[in-house]
Structures are given as structure tokens and as C-alpha cells.
Amino acid sequence: MDITLAALAGRWTPLVLREFLRRGQATYSELSAALPALSDKVLSDRLAQLTGAGVIERHRTPGWPPRVRYTLTPQGRALEPVVRSMWEWGTTQRQDTHGQSPDPSNTF
Amino acid sequence: MDITLAALAGRWTPLVLREFLRRGQATYSELSAALPALSDKVLSDRLAQLTGAGVIERHRTPGWPPRVRYTLTPQGRALEPVVRSMWEWGTTQRQDTHGQSPDPSNTF
DNA sequence: CTGTATCCTGAACGATACTG
DNA sequence: CAGTATCGTTCAGGATACAG
């Protein structure tokens, strides 16, 4: 649990992870564009966190300008059931607490 | 996801939650005894956090000495699949990373 | 383009003392 | 028994400037 929480915890982590689960891969600038409010430092932090957790992999392509591609690993894809179960619990929680109707699109 | 993460995040939260998933209920002093390194303040924080998240409920029984019983709610019990999926992902992760053999007791 | 270095602020944590 | 009050420390997050 601590390992999984460490992989998912932190501000922006769910949103960054969502981008990867949607795209399978992304570049630094793509993520920066998709999440404009996310500062450079924190984006670097999150990419390092997810890389260290084995969720994504860093691929440098040589040449200029430098281009780095982050790809979802098999272990990152294995996170999908975890994300879904968390999404489902949080959704019923919000309904119970605020009395809202369910949203059929489960894209966390 | 943010809702679920907010319910589970924070130091000691997984261990406190485990006590509730095991026992179904607990008193302040039981938790304090089960987790000696956990300070009063943080235990209060965690109980308030879990209560606010709808995971547990606070029941005051009148009289002296004051006795408070915290019980797992149905929504708290619904957290079990989430915990299990997180436990499973973290376990395979640790094996992959450190090359250890699996532990058959899945008590996170 | 893809980051790192630096500094600052606010929140979380932990220890201790005290209360209904 | 079951907490709250207070205080000091540590740490994550955010802004800005700079670098390979």
C-alpha cells in the first residue's frame, strides 16, 4: 500500500497519470500544454516520481533539439484497475456526500 | 481519485485503516496501543480525516469515563477492494524492483 | 526543448503539556 | 479515557531565473 500510495500521491499526480493512461506516452511539452497550471519544477518532480516508481520510462532521442519521450510501462498499465477502483469509490462517495447523479464517463 | 486519495493519504493512514478493516471498530486507546509510535495529535488527525471521508463513524457513549467507539461504515468496508488492488500492485512492484519472493499473507 | 537551481511559503508532522 | 493547544521542525509545492 505504501508503495502504491507513494506512486500516486502528490498534487497533479493523478492528472499526469491520466494523460499517460490516455495517450500511452507523452513528451514534456505535451504534458506542459495539457496541464498549463503545472509548473516546470513539479512536472519534473512528477515525471521523476513516476519513473522511479516504474510507471513510466524515459527515452532520450539523440540530436538537437533534445527530445524526450516518456512511455507507459507494463507496470504502469497494470495501474489501471487500481485507478478504476479508486475512481469508483470516490464517485459513490461524492454521490453519497453531495447527492449528485452519477457521471457515466469514468475518466476520473 | 482525488477523493479516494484524500481519504487514504497521510502518514499512518494505511495502518490506522488496516486496524479498522481487521477489527471493524476500535477505541482511541486500542489504536494508540496498536500503533505506539503514533502520537496523540496525529491519531486525532487521522480519525477526523477518516470520519470526514465517511470511512468511519464516531459514537460517544455517555457517562464517565468518556468512551468513544469508532466503527467502520459500509463505505469504509467498500474500501476493501481498493485496498486490495493497491496492495496487489505494490506487491508485484516490490518483487519486480527488489527481486523478492511473494508473501502469501495479504494483510497489506 | 527539457529540464535544474534557488528561494519562499504554507501545510503536515511530531513532541510536550494540558483539559473535559 | 479521549482528546486539544501550542510550538518547533521538516517537507512538498510554487515562482522565477538559468542551463545543457
In chain B, which residue's Cα lies nearest the Cα of A13?
Answer: B2
Give the bridge partners for B67, in sequence order.
Answer: B61
Residue type, A108: F
pLDDT(A100) > 60: no
pLDDT(A46) > 70: yes
- CA/C1' separation A23–C17 (Å): 54
Q: What share of chain B is helix, strand, coil (3-state, %, to 5)?
A: 55, 15, 30
pLDDT(A41) > 80: yes
Pick from A3, A96, A97: CB nearest B90: A3
Q: CA-CA distance, A32 to A21, in Å (whole number)?
A: 16
Q: CA-CA distance, B78 to B8, in Å (whole number)?
A: 13
- Average pLDDT on A51-76 reads 95
Pick from B2, B75, B81: CB nearest A85: B81
Instruction: Please say whether the beta carbons of B52 and B9 come within 8 A.
Output: no
Q: What value does the CA radius of gyration of chain A take, rounded to a whole number of Å?
A: 15
pLDDT(A104) > 80: no
pLDDT number for residue B99: 54
A68: left (phi over 0), alpha (psi -120 to 50) or beta: beta
Q: CA-CA distance, B73 to A97, in Å (whole number)?
A: 13
pLDDT number for residue B108: 79
Q: CA-CA distance, B54 to B59, in Å (whole number)?
A: 13
Task: Look at residue B105 and give its three-state secondary structure.
Answer: coil
Residue pLDDT, tens place only, A74-98: 999 999 999 999 999 999 988 776 5
Question: What single DSSP character describes residue A101?
Answer: P
- pLDDT less than 70: residues of chain B: 97-106
How many Cβ atoms sit within 10 Å of the Cβ of residue A38? Answer: 17
Q: CA-CA distance, B100 to A96, in Å (whole number)?
A: 41
pLDDT(A24) > 60: yes
Question: What residues of B are in the A interface, CB distance below 8 Å?
Answer: 1-5, 7-9, 14, 53-54, 75, 78-79, 81-83, 85-87, 89-90, 92-94, 96-97, 108
Task: Look at residue A88 and give its three-state secondary structure.
Answer: helix
Query: Cell numbers at residue A24, please?
Result: 500511452
Q: Phi and psi for A29 in degrees, rounded to 5?
A: -70, -30
Which residue's CA is nearest to the C1' of nucleotide C12? B10
**Beta-strand pair B25-27/B67-72:** antiparallel
pLDDT number for residue B94: 81
What is the count of residue pairs from A and B with beta carbons less than 8 Å apart?
Answer: 77
Q: Which of A6, A79, A49, A91 is nearest to B85 (CA)?
A: A79
Nucleotide nearest to B9 (CA to C1'): C12
